[in-house]
Homo-oligomer: A and B are copies of this chain.
Amino acid sequence: MSDSETCLISQAYSSDLFSAAAGHWKSLLTEHLQRLQAGNSKVLNWVPPDESIASAAQWMNAALAKQSDGPAEGVRKLIAQMLASGQNLHHPHYIGHQVPAAVPLAGLFDAVSSVTNQVMAIYEMGPWATAVEYALLGGLCRKVGWNDQHSSGLLTHGGSLANLTALLTARNVSIADSWKTGIPPGTTLVTNADVHYCVTRTAGILGLGAQNVARVPVDSRRRMDVAALERTLTELRNSGRAVMAVSACAGSTPTGAFDDLKGISEVCRRHGVWLHVDAAHGGALLFSRKHRHRLEGIAEADSIVWDAHKMLFVPALCTAVLYRNRAHRFETFQQDAPYLFDPSAPGMADIDSGMRTVECTKRATGFGLWGLWCLFGEELFEQLVDHTLGMTRHFYQLLLTESDFQTLHEPECNILAFRYLPSELRTASLERQNAFQREVRTRLIRSGEFYIVQTTLDGMAALRVTVMNPLTTTQDLQELLDSLKRAGQQVLGH
């Protein structure tokens, strides 16, 4: 192999170049955080998708390392481009999806993995990644109220994959031989009506058929109606249909509602049905002495999904699947992979993550959460929960004083859905009112002043905020109202 054939390799792996480029990385990110936290930029620089894609493709032809100003300067230009074109979650006017302005320090711990490429599947490949994962699982199980010697779980890439993993386990435990022979017709997944799409999706993925989802109605607080659940399970049993699981919700996506886990768990136990709790959003309230009552009964669940990259404020993706009975962690898959799992060391199967997760090679997803926990202890998570929930309640009370705004529920966490209905629209058709919500939002976010989102509840379009940046202040929330009114007046042509 001649030098010319490998010259780019030497350059790409140079530690001097890395050091120079990492210097740019550090400076650019620090300035970026300072600028955003001061509110000195737009939240989102809206560019139509086609233009963005064309721009990203064009950079790929640049061969920046060959340019006269050299590869470190090339890295600087690329990072500057990335920072100028992204969603600015650290701007206090980012009050949108359930994706946090992550603690920047958590990003540093995560980024150790970006550079050193720590992964799992087997312990050898990521001994510290594995150790961190187990230590975190122990800590999270204890927050649920479980004995971490009897319970266990795994970390995986996001709530959707986590719900799929947990419900696959439920399927294999609840429907004997289904892993080996397939799914008996009519096998049903029971959810609440406001369930996240990734949960209902599992019926289609796991071979039940998407039509075999029973959606239990929600009550006036948009919680699963426990009496209706009882009737649903009785009807399913009477018609001879097996139940894969009941999936309850702790922090629903549309409104942040918490199901009555105590009531639901009693029904599930009576019917002998697997109880899964999607606590992707709401799990973090377990860290709050003030708010953990919302999750009363969660310790009765058979499986729980909990996103650290939501209300524990670490960067995506880091989700825990937790099993009350640790024996269930090996029910998800039953496989043989001799190049991975050493038959001469059978005890390692408990340590090797590949036996329990969809991923084979799995990034060390736990570093961010572990780093924050080591630095600040559980107290940081409690403050983050209490503060963002407090700000959401503040915004709710603000809206109550505004005659042109209609709240759609009392907030149970940091999510609030509401409608903006200026007097001239109050007697308009639902279609017109719905279109207005969407038009106002589009105008607002493309102005770059704020980033909020939308939802639809029972056919009613609504605006929706999630306080996911702990630096958002009461003044920011007042300004949001003012900006919404301004955008509304513009939409109405005033």
Contact = CB atoms under 8 A, between A and B. Distances in A.
A329 to B, nearest CB: 15
Contacts of A130: 49, 52-53
Interface string A365-379: 001101111111101
B131 A363 contact: no
Number of copies: 2
Interface string A86-123: 11111000001111111111111111111111110111
A214 to B, nearest CB: 15
A464 B474 CA distance: 60
Interface residues of A, number: 184
A209 interface: yes
A331 to B, nearest CB: 11
Interface in A71-95: 71, 74-75, 78-79, 81-83, 85-90
Interface in A36-55: 37, 44-47, 49, 52-53, 55
Interface stretch (A8-16, A215-223, A397-405, A483-491): A8-16
- Chain A contact residues: helix, strand, loop or mixed: helix
Contact of A33 (B18, B33, B104, B179): B18
Nearest to A172: B204
Interface stretch (A228-236, A268-276, A293-301, A335-343): A335-343
Contacts of A49: 123, 127, 130-131, 134, 348, 351
Given A30-B18, A374-B78, A375-B63, A158 B359 contact: yes
A210 B182 CA distance: 8
A161 B211 contact: no
16 contacts: A22-B29, A49-B134, A49-B348, A63-B376, A64-B374, A96-B125, A99-B117, A107-B116, A164-B358, A180-B204, A180-B211, A182-B207, A204-B333, A307-B361, A338-B456, A339-B464
